Structure 1
């Protein structure tokens, strides 16, 4: 039995190395991107529901972008706080701000996709950049950087939505590592010609991509996925690229309690089951290989079975994963989380398992 586990352990490590070297390495060791400034008209779209505190702080930062031709579409999704009043003041204050008021609709109650659809239809520009109401751009060149990657054929640009650093918070390090790893995955697969997701905190695409598939109609009944499900549906090797320049990042405040973050992860994970078969398979294989790596290593070391070889294999695996993720973390300005990599990885693996099990017995809460 232990012999079987040992050989299974070797196979698992080879699968892990294949991911880290041949897939994630495509992003980790990618050359610095060339930024070609463009003057294409841009509509920045922000959908908010009860985000009064955040929009007061962050919308002015969007209005101060250094870009010659852009508008800001502010969507109030039937907020019950002061969000609508604040948006109305911004519309009076800034000439390039336009407001979309969304009334509760019985057929689409609480569905962010319905609100976004109204905002996209209201946009006057052909190229759209999306961010969330609780996000802010890393620089005044955010629009310039994201739009610089558009070409005649590249009509989808995936961006990085980072979380702010909170000193001495281990939960913050976990959240930022998980966010970085997710970005490494979707950037790497996009680089490999198999794009599968993007994040609504920082995403851009041409409006025709939306209309070509009748918007969110294919998954309108799924409460989440206005970003990743939509990109999973429309993204191809031909039309998709990404931007990892620091000026193109957006930032938002992370959750400050494990319970809040766990609830957020439940929503994110529940969407992945609707991905294309290949994407679900590659994501599942990576996660299962992570889980089995630790379980098999514990069993083999507990019985001291070929323990010197097992330790060498473990060290070999960590060497390659640390190098690959270290270079990736450098690109995404998250180097500090790598010092805690082994511990954070274990926490994430078993948190993910808890999320899967919890989602089997109850549905996660979606748009506010």
Structure 2
């Protein structure tokens, strides 16, 4: 029947698209062998913007202060917290002379806007080189600052790092969160490797202060609640000014959400920023997602119809082999190889979840960073 043939040839086209993504685009990062830079020991301002994060700051500030980098300051931004976040910051400041506190008071025009608070912190920073993380993040080694900032050079003004989420045993939600984080990293690191950087994560990102002011800060998207990391990078990153840092000593680990509702709210804020990416980036991201959906849909339909089933099975096998090999190589770089034990299940769950978030954001828009 004609409809069966249309579905079959559509499936071949979709598999070809998937092979381009996994074999070429993501494969570029899978095959990437980074050059180990020399020690620079440059002055660095580590910036943390915190809102009601007293407990996390108590745990994570000592890990940052214990970094082996010779010259750095820690800029702590209290974004109008209602708990004792400011008191915790002040307690550390009395014991360490390399801590600077920026206490942000509410301003009606920028109420609830993290970008406003970050702008004040960046202006207060002493050093030209800025390294960002979150209050609930901890560096996984005492070489985090050095590993990230050693990548700066005369041509590289933005350093994109990786920030996984902490593993919680026996939690399917945690497994899905970590897989989603991994797959997001696969994409933004791969595109950056190909010279098409489109985003980064604020829990492990560095750039020069001059880069911030040359772009007029966050003003181009100040009215958007999220995007202090990805929208800024999407705006200022070029084929030549970005460098990756994926050494295991450069990773930061964050505390994941523990309820589906809280994760949905978080991802709604994150995903809503994608509408403001550059057209090419939106097209490539949308095409990848659509090809995933159609791959699974057409593979199932054609299998049930038993139409050209031998070819269908062969194409499915080829796609899975290329996907697995590529993701395995990347997972070893990012120390996430155990996630691949559940690859098909997690892929289906993630596709479904992303569709759910897309529909939710069509109905209503998320507000405020916390």
Are 1:81 and 2:83 matched, yes or no?
yes
- Contact (CA 8 Å) 1:33, 1:243: kept in 2 or not? no
Distance 2:86 2:23 in 1: 48
Give SS of 2:101's match: strand
Q: Is contact 2:44–2:128 with CA below 8 Å preserved after alignment? A: yes
8 Å CA contact 1:160, 1:249 repeated in 2: yes
| Distance in 2 separating the partners of 1:366 and 1:183 | 24
Q: Partners in 2 of 1:222 and 1:204 — Cα distance?
A: 21
Question: Which segment is superposed worse, 161-170 or 232-241?
Answer: 161-170
Q: Residue in 2 aligned with 1:15? A: 17
Which residue is equivalent to 1:230? 232
- The match for 1:284 is 286
**Structure 2 CA distance for aligned equivalents of residues 297 and 262 of structure 1:** 29
Shift of 1:256: 1.4
Which runs of 5 or more structure 1 residues have no equivalent in the other structure?
none
Q: Contact 1:13 / 1:317 at 8 angstroms: preserved in 2?
A: yes
SS at match of 1:194: coil
- Distance in 1 between residues matched to 2:82 and 2:365, nearest whole Å: 24
What residue number does 1:66 align with?
A: 68
Q: Is the 8 A contact 1:33 1:245 kept in 2?
A: no
Q: Which residues in structure 2 correspond to 1:89-238 (within 5 Å)?
A: 89-238=91-240
Summarize deviations over 1:15-63 as a string: whole Å, max 9, x none: 0100111110111111143132112110000000001111110011111
Which residues of structure 2 form unaligned runs of 5+?
Answer: none
Distance in structure 1 (CA, Å) of the matches to 2:329 and 2:4: 36
Q: Report the equivalent of 1:273.
A: 275
User: What SS does structure 1 have at the residue aligned with 2:94?
Assistant: helix
CA RMSD of aligned residues (A): 0.8
Moved over 2 A (4+): none
* Structure 1 CA distance for aligned equivalents of residues 197 and 34 of structure 2: 20
Tell me the CA shift for residue 179 of structure 1. Answer: 0.7
More displaced 10-residue stretch of structure 1: 188-197 or 23-32: 23-32
> Quick check: 1:314 aligned with 2:331?
no
TM-score w.r.t. structure 2 length?
0.98
SS in 1 for 2:78: strand
Does the Cα contact within 8 Å between 2:225 and 2:367 map onto a contact in 1? Answer: no
Q: How many residues align?
A: 368
